Every structure is written in structure tokens, then in C-alpha cells.
């Protein structure tokens, strides 16, 4: 069993309230990385607006209704 599997198994033994607290704490620990990633993505979008999709095309990609190779 990997460390991750062991942690998940232990987490599933917690009460629902304790699991909710665990989720919040893990999310908080990811916030700086997530914020950095979003800043990088925004900067890339600003520098390369030609690579952006309009919402209708993005929605199709997100929900799997179109191939990513759409021109």
C-alpha cells in the first residue's frame, strides 16, 4: 500500500465533519500553488490572445463535445 493509499484509508475512517475539515486544510495548502498557476495562465493568455477560445468552443472542449484540434 502506498503512502497515499494509507492516508486515504485513514481519512475515510474520520467522521464526515473531520473529513470536511481535512479537505479544507488540504485545499488551503494548495492555494499558493493554485494562485501561481492561475497567474501564469493569465499572463500566457495576455501574451497570446490568439490562442484563446470563445466560451462556446471552450464549453464544447470542457464537456467533451469537440476535438481539441479545432482550428
Classify residue 67: in a domain, yes or no. Answer: no
Its domain, for residue 39, covers 3-62
pLDDT at position 70 over 70: no
Q: Could you give the CA distance from residue 68 to residue 71 in angstroms, rounded to a whole number?
A: 9
pLDDT reported for residue 42: 92
pLDDT reported for residue 8: 94
Q: Which residue has the higher pLDDT, 68 or 30?
A: 30
Share of the chain above pLDDT 70, in %: 90
Classify residue 71: in a domain, yes or no. Answer: no
Q: Could you give the CA distance from residue 66 to residue 58 in angstroms, rounded to a whole number?
A: 9
Instruction: For the full predicted model, state whether its pTM sits above 0.75.
Output: no
Q: Which value, in Å, is the radius of gyration of the alpha carbons in the chain?
A: 19
pLDDT reported for residue 68: 56
> For residues 49-68, b (16+ Cβ closer than 10 Å) or e, as one string?
eeeeeeeeeeeeeeeeeeee
Q: Could you give the CA distance from residue 47 to residue 31 in angstroms, rounded to a whole number?
A: 24
Determine the average pLDDT of the residues in 5-16. Answer: 95
Classify residue 48: in a domain, yes or no. Answer: yes
Classify residue 34: in a domain, yes or no. Answer: yes
Amino acid at each position: 500500500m502506498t503512502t497515499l493509499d494509507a492516508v486515504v484509508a485513514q481519512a475515510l475512517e474520520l467522521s464526515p465533519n473531520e473529513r470536511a475539515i481535512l479537505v479544507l486544510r488540504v485545499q488551503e495548502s494548495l492555494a499558493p500553488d493554485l494562485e501561481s498557476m492561475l497567474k501564469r495562465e493569465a499572463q500566457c493568455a495576455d501574451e497570446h490572445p490568439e490562442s484563446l477560445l470563445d466560451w462556446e468552443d471552450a464549453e464544447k472542449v470542457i464537456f467533451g463535445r469537440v476535438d481539441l484540434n479545432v482550428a
